[in-house]
Structure 1
Amino acid sequence: MTGATGRQAQRRGRFITLEGGEGVGKSSNLAYVAGLLESAGLDVLRTREPGGTPLAERVRDIIVAASGEAVPPIAELLLVFAARSLHVEGCIRPALEAGRWVLCDRFTDASYAYQGAGRGLGPEPVRWLETQVQEDLRPDLTLLLDADPEVGLARAGARGDADRFEQERGEFFSRVRAGYLERAAAEPERFRVIDASQSLEAVRLEIRNHINTFIQANVFT
């Protein structure tokens, strides 16, 4: 076999994640990234967290629903990792081993940002669960869509009813943003930070440049 598809089938796929706070445009840009990868001849699996498998999606409903019952931060973190365990073993790892490229709307960086920073648990419980659930599995590339929380929440509010996270106060999302930026600063080789407050055209230009560079380094070399 020749071409991108042949080369990709001979080795493990690549794992790309999109991260960011509420209303930064992850879902719409996930489809854009998928199109770029598919145009290069790659077999792409699109997925999301929490969720990605039928049972993990049911856990997602528990996590995000505004039920009125108080959820302790550690309970929230454990629910997220329960869904992640299902997702990793039932979806992500098999796809990568089959040579597919996995594109995920949020992954463990979100736990460091939302539960570690936002909820105040700190990084240690997240790190321990990450090791237990994922072993050595980590994203190969992470696009962090970054914007002032006020901008993102205004966009999210325009979508309709707020979920349990979107009902949080601005201070929570400021901590989440800081958590994300701390992760990006600690792993600059993996993260690409994109100013999501720009026009959609400008955001996608940056995304296209980063993805094309990544494809070049991982497919055509």
Structure 2
Amino acid sequence: MPLRKTYIVEHLDPELGQWSELEYIAIARETQRSGNTFMLSSLPEAFQVPQKLAEVPAFKAEKRGVEEIYGEGNGKDRVCLLDPQAEKDLNPDDKGEFDVFLFGGILGDDPPRDRTSELRKKGFKGRRLGPVQMTTDTAVRVTRMVIEEQFTLNKIPFVDFPELKFNDHESTEMPFRYVTDENGKPIMPEGMVDLIKKDADKSIDDLF
């Protein structure tokens, strides 16, 4: 069993929105601190990796799709697809069963493609992270806490749909579940609150 774990997000979008960029940088830096690997797969030829992301040693950019990297006989049985429709929740024992953790979200597709559904049909084993939608960086953070730090999901401190207050007159509710820090505040990527505040007149979907 490899000591290092790999966290993969299938991106597939030729461009990278500001929201996703901040998330990916946060994932890469946290993965670097834990001594593991963060990969974006299925990247189009035209995709430009932001400098702040490229300079993190733990990050890998990959044009191949997960099916090509981890096909039958090439470690497919060691890949865990984080799937809201999976029958079983991710648990600490999965550390011994999986080496790769796959997140199938696609950002920016209109109409959106259910990449998780496509990967499910390819036969990747699935695990669930609970019933409430998370941001991508939160989903990777939770997976790492379960696998590397051996938390069970019910022991992770969460907050659902937190309200971000910018001043006495402006606030917005985030439609996601977040891990909280020691002060009970939602853990968000560096620069994310400023981005949301700056674009408060836009919908959350527009920020991706």
**TM-score (normalizing by structure 1):** 0.32
Greater fraction strand: 2
Q: Which has the higher contact order (CA 8 A, sep 6+)?
A: 1
